[in-house]
Amino acid sequence: MMRVAVSLSTALILIVFGLLWLVIMAFGAYGYDTSNGLAALIAGAVLLIMTIVIASMASGWLAHVLQTRSGISPWLVGPGTVVAVTAVAMIVIFVGGSIVTSVVDAALRPAPPPRPAPASNRRY
């Protein structure tokens, strides 16, 4: 039962902070072209969903492992696991989101125009 509570608590906290992060990304993508900004938001949302799912599963597993293999009280294991996994997941979301946004922006940015050929100094 504690595994479910820890997993749900982690997921709920990450959903709240993740929605706030997506709003911040939407404001940050304001200066981009529409297609670039939308692609960055979609990539960020995919990263956010994957992180929430993986962190929720990891927090439930970690709480179970800590409770069964150590003598730590369940009253300490639950909140400690939620805080630790949420902190790591938030770092992954913020750092990974910055990397994803940069990669999407670089991939979708149009190529610069070709440089003109140098003029020759010959007289005809």
User: Mean pLDDT across the stretch 59-87?
Assistant: 91
Place 90 in a pLDDT band, splitting at 50, 70 and 90: very high
The 3 state secondary structure assigned to the chain is: CHHHHHHHHHHHHHHHHHHHHHHHHHHHHHHCCHHHHHHHHHHHHHHHHHHHHHHHHHHHHHHHHHHHHCCCCHHHHHHHHHHHHHHHHHHHHHHHHHHHHHHHHHHHCCCCCCCCCCCCCCCC
Q: Could you state, in order of their start, the residue ranges of all structural domains in the chain?
A: 2-108
* pLDDT for the residue numbered 106: 78
Q: Is the CB of residue 7 less than 8 Å from the CB of residue 59?
A: yes
Residue 50 pLDDT class (50, 70, 90 cuts): very high
In tens, the pLDDT along 11-21 reads: 999 999 999 98
Which pLDDT band, with edges at 50, 70 and 90, does 57 fall under? very high
Q: What is the pLDDT of residue 74?
A: 84
Reported pTM: 0.79
Mean pLDDT, to the nearest integer, of 61-69?
91
Residue 30 in this model has a pLDDT that exceeds 70: no
Picking from 104, 95, 4, the residue whose alpha carbon sits closest to that of residue 48 is 95
